[in-house]
Amino acid sequence: MTVLQAAALAAVALTGGGVVLATDPVRQTLVLGVFGIALTMLFFVFQAPDVALSEIVVSTVGLPVMILLALRKVRRQERDRKEEGE
Amino acid sequence: MTRRTRLVMFGIAAAGLGVVLIYGLAGLPAFGDYHGVYGHVIDRIGVTERHATDLVTALNFDFRAFDTLGEEFILFGSVLGVVLILREVRDDHERPRQQEAEEHSFAGASAALRAMALGLIPTLIALGVYIVVHGQITPGGGFQGGLILAAGPLAVFLAGRYVRMKRVAPHAMGEIGDAAGAMGYALVGLGGLVFAGVFFKNFLPLGIPGHLLSAGQIDVASVAVGLEVSGAFLVAWSEFLDQAILVRRNGAR
Amino acid sequence: MSFLPFAIAAWLFLIGLYGIVSSRNLIRAILSLTVVQSATYVVLLGVGYVHGGRAPIFADIPAGTPAVDPVVQVLVLTDIVIGATVTAMLLALAVQAHKRFGSLDPQDLRALRD
Amino acid sequence: MHITALAIVVPMIAAALLVVGRHSSPRLLNDLAAAGVGLSVVTISAILLVRAIHDPIVYWMGGWRPNHMVAVGISLSIDPIGAGMAAFAAVLVTAALVYSWRYFDGADGLFHALMLVFLAAMVGFCLTGDLFNLIVFFELMGAVAYALTAYRTEERGPIQGAINFAITNSVAAYATFIGAALLYARTGALNLAQIGAALDGHTADALVVVAMVLLFVGFLTKAAAVPLHFWSADAHAVAPTPICVLLSAVMAELGLYAVARVYWTVFAGGLSPHVDELRAILIALGTVTALWGGIMCYAQRHLKRLLAFSTISHVGVIACGVGLLTARGLAGAATYVVGQGFTKGALFMLVGVLLHRFGTVDEFDLHGRGREMRVAGVLLGVGGLALTAMPGVTLFFGKSLIDGAALDDRYAWLPAVFVISSILTGGAVLRVTGRVFMGWGASQRQDDVRLRHVAEEKDEQRVERDFTPPLMLIVPAVLLAGAIVIGLIPGALPAIETAAAHFADHAAYARWVLTGGAPHFTAVRHTHVETVDYLYGSAGTLGAIAIAALTLFGSTLHQRVPAALIGPPRAALTALRGLHSGHIGDYVAWWTLGTAMLGGASLILLT
């Protein structure tokens, strides 16, 4: 195993744990993006460029857009509910 | 179960599952020592018989094209699912927040960001198309390219124009692209059945390896997938976008 | 050292499960689910790797060059699409759940208790 | 055969067309088109079944035939059991589509499109001969089912049910991915026959056993075996009725079909030295599932949840049939699947009739309100009796075969478990029939709080109506007729026994798939229903009638029993019910525990 591969694996392990352990959802989304980039690097050093390309488009554009919009909706709902309650 | 009981039970169970997983994975050949027969056969016949140089794409759209058919319909079905799940909210009791809908600013998009995003659009589209049609030669293919293509209209939104994005990529158009792409992919398979006698059997000229119009059905399949993926992601994004922008009429404002 | 990729896959699988079990926010559970899934990518690609092998793209390398296994890469591609779409659907469900229950904490989702 | 792939691709293309035209096409067109496509898939599957009975069919996608016994493409490997399951699924999807003509007032093209994709997924799942392809169709089935479960998004139950369904089943699917990766690493193959051939002659080691456990756990999650079942009672209880029919009558059974298919094609050779231990594990699992489901079923008053738990109980019985790991047990399981599928489908549809009419599915709310609905009442009663595996119905013949297989294998106590399952599940339906359609028994339960979801939820159709569309009764009547008659068709049972024996022929499967040559099967000895089977069958039916009568008319009985005798079982039942908390964290924790236990037991006993 090359140093690059070991480093990419370590990055995946750490950021993967980070996604789970991050408390704030927005921060978690950001960590998820970093995790996606770590996976992409791993796929590159595993000689899988097709997979790496897929992973990068999904994890930097495809999913974060949806997650952030969903979070925004949730937050807005919470605010509306609070205003209604007052 | 209380949270505590749940976590204790999970802790014990996870330790057990960890042992099971490690036992199983320990039987794998050492990392880097793989000599599976399937990959070798594909390496041998992929270029000669399919005239494709990217064997992953050749597998995806030819040898194992049938898997990809299932995959495309997972995408298709899930996006229908997103539409189905979020559909109720767009009826009469919700409407776009006026000021934001007309000139939506995404997280305080500055002028510089807008200019950048606008500049991004043609680049994204060109890159997307390139990746879709070169799938059989170099890394990439319908899925990756399609997603990048869909990011074009998304950049319009980043540039701060919600309504304009809806005009550039109306919801119905995304939906039709999604369905037509999925169907197109199935039709590639059916073409094989009609013209070559077997479902997904190549019925198009193979061309010269490395050239744009090579590898038979792979290119057509890749374009169909690209269409589907860009439609699918547009629909999904715009559903979530509607969610984030629509508000209840009887709400605070 | 040659076991490292697989050990990390097991770690991702279990830590992801922990994230779902311990979650007080559905969106966090959904993101943890993607971590569970990434374990499958690492196993599959780890299995098909060949020391010194090139990517299975014979555009700029001569035929016969040792290459890593292309089959597992196709499986991972399918896997990624499945993951992204299921995540999208779950996010939509989470948005609806928040609308109906007023909360994303699984503890507050109480429509189904026996 | 040229039409082979059409069974899968025709519903897919139709689904895409329905989506393209969904904003303009009228409801009637969608209904007719979807049902028409369903019927065409029934026809294609039936043709495949007839051909496969003659000789199994291998269809290599893309014309990629195996290269020196190495599969480069994906095969559909079609034998009578696979084709029969596909036809069975297609019949039930078509029935559900016809039933929903009048059921869903608001259904648009989305519903029909998703149903057709669901159909394509199930047919593909039954016919494929490739491990990864099997998993892809497994996921496709799941993805569509999650969406359909959440169909009524304006209510809370469906949303939560769909979330629990999707998360649990996704985790399960990821486990199957790892299982497939392990087998691919060992054998370099994805075709089931080729993997099996590569594993033959080597004693199974930890890798093979863990791969098997991960695959089985994935499939058993969809089948809803205890303790991987928690999601299913939720999802089956909240999905719209036509979807419940498919989840309960087809999808759960397909999970067990996959266990059987993968065991016999892949593992039967390598695990043959440890077949007794594996049998013990699977039968333990099936027994717990059958009893747990039965008890929970009888304890319900929410009718859809009641039927959901009854499916879990029957899944336990079928798991025992498969788990005996003999051709006879498998034949019994296959027959049982058909009988239970048609019966359960009809029962869900009849509960749907009550929901359509009265806007509730609570047993006590409905007390006596069905007196005018004679047809529905008779049908529900007949369905309840069929569910007890009364002698003569298809379920009875299936159960007899499994009983026989159990006695062959020194599991003499297993028939008693099945009788208990019949009594509890059939008795629950008979109890409901008596209470709702005859007005027997109490209209209130004093000692029990109302279920939260009944109390808080408006049901899927809150309006009350004074009519029932005839189709909503005709379709379940036809299904029930099928559930009663199929086992009586001359030659049907021997044909199933032969098909099961061929299905279980590990070596022959590898040969006919990889070489394409005609298989040489050994002659199959057919069995007969014996007197003791009629005894078991009657015991189930009479017991069910007795327990239903006791519940309805013996309300003062429990006051005469000493409290010391009644207290502990009641506390246990409360505890058991408390486990079904609806909390996704609980469910995934249970899933982990179940997987760890199954994996631990397998590693200890099978290596």
Q: Quick: pLDDT tens for A17-38.
A: 999 998 888 889 999 999 999 9
CA–CA separation, B160 vs B112, rounded Å?
Answer: 12
Q: How far is CA B121 from its chain centroid?
A: 18
Tell which of B53, B62, B89 to mutate to test the C interface (max C CBs under 10 Å). B53
Residue B124 is predicted with a pLDDT of 82
DSSP D438-449: I--S-S--TTSP
The answer on D423 and D495 residing in a single domain is: yes
Residues D265 and D277 in one domain: no
Interface test with C, best of B38, B85, B90 (most C CBs within 10 A): B85
D604 interfacial to chain C (CB closer than 8 Å) = no
The DSSP H or E segment spanning D164 is helix D156-187
Distance of alpha carbon D316 from alpha carbon D329, whole angstroms: 13
Residue B100, chain C, CB below 8 Å: the answer is: no
Q: Would you call C50 an interface residue with chain B, using a CB distance cutoff of 8 Å?
A: yes
Share the mean pLDDT of chain C.
89
CB of D603 within 8 Å of any CB in chain C? no
CA angle A48, A51, A52 (to 5 degrees): 80
CB contact under 8 Å between C89 and B78, yes or no, is yes
Nearest by CB to residue B55, choosing from C18, C57, C96, is C57
Q: Answer whether residue B91 shows pLDDT above 60.
A: no
Q: Nearest Cβ partner of A73 from B57, B141, B244?
A: B244
H/E stretch holding B125: helix B111-133
More confident residue, C75 or C106: C75
D113 and D220 co-located in one domain:
no
Give whole-number Cα distances, B167 to B155, B156, B161, B164, D23, in Å: 13, 10, 10, 5, 18
CB contact at 8 A, D356 and D422: no
Query: What is residue D487's DSSP assignment?
Result: G
B181 membership: H or E segment, kind and range: helix B171-191
In order of A51, B147, C95, D97, D338, the CA distances from B79 in angstroms are: 22, 14, 15, 21, 33
Judge whether D73 is closer than 8 Å to chain B, CB to CB. Answer: yes
3-state DSSP assignment of residue D301: coil
The answer for C 67-106 residues in CB contact with A (under 8 A) is 67-68, 73, 76-77, 80-81, 83-84, 87-88, 91-92, 94-95, 98-99, 102, 104
Q: Say how far apart CA D558 and CA D439 lie, in whole Å.
A: 21
Q: What is the pTM of this model?
A: 0.94
Q: Is residue B164 part of a domain?
A: yes
User: Where does D434-505 have alpha helices with state H?
Assistant: 452-456, 471-485, 492-503
Chain D partners (3+ C-beta pairs within 8 A): B, C
> Could A20 and C15 be called an inter-chain contact, meaning their C-beta atoms sit closer than 8 Å?
yes
Chain C environment of A76 (Cβ under 8 Å):
none
CA end-to-end span of chain B: 41
Q: B125-129: long-range contacts (C-beta < 8 A, 24 or more apart)?
A: B125/B149, B125/B152, B128/B152, B128/B226, B128/B230
Q: What count of other Cβ atoms lies within 10 Å of the Cβ of residue A68?
A: 18
Q: Determine contact: C35 vs chain A, CB below 8 A.
A: yes
- Number of compact structural domains in chain D: 3
Q: Is the pLDDT of residue B107 over 70?
A: no
Given CB atoms, is C90 within the 8 Å cutoff of chain B?
no
Phi, psi of D254 (to 5 degrees): -65, -30
Looking at D190-302, list the stretches that DSSP marks H as alpha helix, in order from N- to C-terminal side: 192-199, 206-223, 230-238, 241-246, 252-262, 275-298
Range of the domain at B221: 53-248
Helix (H) or strand (E) holding A36: helix A25-45
B216: nearest Cα among B233, B200, B230, B234: B200
| Residues D279, D415 share a domain | yes
Q: Which of residues 104-163 of B touch C (CB under 8 A)?
A: 137-139, 143
Domain span at residue D123 reads 1-129
Identify the residue whose tokens are 């304890």: D299
Average pLDDT, integer, range B235-251: 72
pLDDT exceeds 80 at position B169: no
Q: Which residues of B touch C89 (CB under 8 A)?
A: 78, 81-82, 85
What is the value of ipTM here, to two decimals? 0.94
Task: Say whether both D428 and D317 belong to one domain.
Answer: yes
Tens-place pLDDT, residues D564-582: 777 788 888 888 888 888 8
Residue C39 · residue A37 · CB < 8 Å: no
Q: How many helices (H) and strands (E) does chain D have?
A: 25, 2
* CATH dotted code for C4-108: 1.10.287.3510
> Based on the number of CB atoms within 10 Å of its own CB, is C8 exposed (0-12), middle (13-18) or buried (19 or more)?
buried
Does the structure show a pLDDT above 80 at B95?
no
- Phi and psi, residue D188, nearest 5°: 65, 25
Do residues D402 and D537 share a domain? yes
In a domain, D87, yes or no: yes
D576 to B230, D297, D452, D581: CA distances (angstroms): 48, 12, 16, 10
With an 8 Å Cβ cutoff, are C78 and B6 in contact? no
Does residue D260 share a domain with residue D400? no
* Closest among D135, D497, D114 to D329, alpha carbons compared: D497
Residues 374-433 of chain D whose Cβ lies under 8 A from any Cβ of chain B: none
Pairwise CA distance, residues D258 & A38, whole Å: 35
CA dist., res. D114 & res. D111, Å (int)? 5
Which positions of chain D have pLDDT values less than 70? 1, 102-107, 445-463, 555-559
Cβ-Cβ pairs closer than 8 A, A with C, add up to 117
Q: Which residues pair with D477 in a beta bridge?
A: none
B203 touches D at CB < 8 Å = no
pLDDT in the model for residue D371: 86
Contact D178 C106 (CB under 8 A): no
Q: Which residues of A touch B56 (CB under 8 A)?
A: 48, 50-51
Instruction: Encode pLDDT of B119-144 as tens digits.
Output: 777 788 888 888 887 777 777 788 88
CB-CB neighbors (< 8 A) of C11 in chain A: 13, 16-17
Residue D456 lies in a domain: no
Contact (CB, 8 A) for D241 and D351: yes
D47-83 tens-digit pLDDT: 999 999 988 999 999 889 988 888 999 999 999 999 9
Chain D residues close to C88, C-beta within 8 Å:
none
Q: Where are the domains of chain C?
A: 4-108
| Whether residues D410 and D492 fall in one domain | yes
| Interatomic CA distance for residues D244 and D199, integer angstroms | 39
Confidence label for C82 from pLDDT (cuts 50, 70 and 90):
very high
- Provide DSSP, chain C: -TTHHHHHHHHHHHHHHHHHHH-SSHHHHHHHHHHHHHHHHHHHHHHH-BTTPBPSBTTSS-TT--B--HHHHHHHHHHHHHHHHHHHHHHHHHHHHHHHHS---GGG--S---
* Per-residue DSSP letter, D518: P
DSSP code of B103? S
Q: Please indicate whether residue D279 or residue B55 has the higher confidence score (pLDDT).
A: D279
> Inter-chain contact A50–B141, Cβ cutoff 8 Å?
yes
Kindly state whether D553 is in contact with chain C, defined as any CB-CB distance less than 8 angstroms: no
Write down the domain spans for chain A. 3-85
pLDDT > 70: percent of chain C: 96
The angle at the Cα of D268, spanning D288 to D48, to the nearest 5 degrees, equals 95
Tell me the residues of chain B between 172 and 201 that have a Cβ less than 8 Å away from chain C: none
Whether D106 contacts chain B with CB within 8 A: no
Task: Compare CB distances from D457 to C36, C47, C111 and report the shortest one's residue.
Answer: C111
Residues D261 and D353 in one domain: no
pLDDT at B102 exceeding the cut of 80: no
Cross-strand partners of C57: B54
Q: What is the pLDDT of residues A36-65, one digit of tens each?
A: 999 999 999 999 998 999 999 898 888 988
pLDDT given at position B151: 84
Residue of A nearest to C48 (CA): A46
Average pLDDT over residues B195-216: 80
Secondary structure of D355-400 as H, E, C letters: HHHHCCCECCCCCCCCCCCHHHHHHHHHHHHHHCCCCCCHHHHHHH
* Residue of B243, B245, B253 to mutate for A, most A C-beta atoms under 10 A: B243
Six-digit token pair at A9? Answer: 């694996």
Touch between chain B and chain C (3+ CB pairs, < 8 Å)?
A: yes
Q: Which of B240, B245, B247 to mutate to test the interface with A (most CBs of A within 10 A)?
A: B240
Pick left, alpha or beta for residue D74 (phi over 0 → left; psi -120 to 50 → alpha; otherwise beta).
Answer: beta
Same domain, D331 and D478: yes
Flag if D132 and B67 touch (Cβ within 8 Å): yes
Whether residues D39 and D173 share a domain: the answer is no
Q: Which tokens is D491 given?
A: 């030659």
- Confidence at residue D553, expressed as pLDDT on a 0 to 100 scale: 85
CA angle B110, B114, B119 (to 5 degrees): 150
Separation between Cα atoms, residue D473 and residue D349, nearest integer Å: 8
Query: Residue C62 above 60 pLDDT?
Result: yes
At residue B150 the predicted structure's pLDDT band, cuts being 50, 70 and 90, is: confident
Name B94's bridge partners.
Answer: B248
pLDDT score, position B31: 87
- D295 contacts D352 by C-beta, under 8 angstroms: no
Nearest chain D residue to B218 by CA: give it. D62
Per-residue pLDDT, averaged over C49-68, amounts to 80
Alpha-carbon distance values, B1 to B206, D431, D494, D576, D590 (Å):
61, 31, 49, 11, 11
Q: What is the pLDDT of residue D460?
A: 46
How far is residue D269's CA from residue D263's CA, in Å, rounded to a whole number? 9
Rounded Cα–Cα distance for residues D593 and D226 (Å):
11
Same domain membership, residue D497 and residue D358: yes
B198 domain-assigned: yes
B143, part of any domain = yes
Region of B210 (left: φ > 0; alpha: ψ -120 to 50; beta: rest) is left
Predicted confidence band of residue A86 (pLDDT cuts 50, 70, 90): low
